[in-house]
Amino acid sequence: MKPIITVFERSPDRGRGLARDMRVRWALEEAEQDYEVRTVSFEAMKQPGYLALQPFGQIPVYQEGDLVLFESGAIVLHVAERFGGRLLPEAPSARARQISWLFAAIDTVEPPVFELDLVDILDGCKPWLEDRRQALEGLASVRLDALAAALGESDWLDGAFGAGDLMMVTVLRRLSGTALMGRYPSLIDYIARGEARPAFQRAFAAQRTLFEASQAE
């Protein structure tokens, strides 16, 4: 049975592949698992029928037969465990370390990166915008310094590419092209290695095609 994932009917990221369905699409592509997409509007996401699937009224939801999952991290982990492939190594310790990096991406790196990315939109008119942006840049750079040090000269965070890298690259992409990311050439290269993967390219193209179709309507 093909999994079904929910995605924005009209993604506010303008087709840049920053919405959290992208990481699930990418994981499914890495696992070479076909999937279907169900588009949802902002309005529909807040209706009881959808809230029964995703209590916070967000995308993505993942459905596989009777199994319904929310939270992109849990979904990527499930995809990695369910469909095997390249996302999690067999060796227990390496597998556990890869999962650590997946959590690090979501729990340690994503919060300041996400807030920094959105500060101009959410707080654009506030008198304290500049102070807030600087504070968030400081918090994000503490995380990026540590991440760049952990990556060192390696291609991936722990041996071969895995679920932790997939998640980390999707998080870092939010800062692509910013002056802050410009200070981290090794992380720019790391993002580029992730984006060059054929599975990423397929996932990106799929969400882009959907976004362009939504604009044509």
Ligand X SMILES: N[C@@H](CCC(=O)N[C@@H](CS)C(=O)NCC(=O)O)C(=O)O
- State the residues that interact with ligand X by CB under 6 A: 19-20, 57-59, 71-73
Q: Least distance from C-beta 198 to ligand X, angstroms?
A: 24
Rg (CA), the chain: 17
Residue the block writes with tokens 């465990």: 81
* Residue 15 or 57 with smaller CB distance to ligand X: 57
SS3 content of the chain, % helix, strand, coil (to 5): 60, 10, 30
Q: Which residues pair with 69 in a beta bridge?
A: 62
User: How far is the C-alpha of 106 from the C-alpha of 163, rounded, in Å?
Assistant: 12
Structure letter (DSSP) for residue 175: G
Which residue's beta carbon is nearest to the bound ligand X?
58
C-beta of 83 vs 114, nearer to ligand X:
114
Task: Give the shortest CB-74-to-ligand X separation in angstroms.
Answer: 8
Phi and psi at 5, nearest 5°, equal -120, 150
Which CB sits closer to ligand X, 19 or 113?
19
- The least CB distance from residue 132 to ligand X, in Å, is 20
Question: Smaller CB distance to ligand X: residue 41 or 186?
Answer: 41
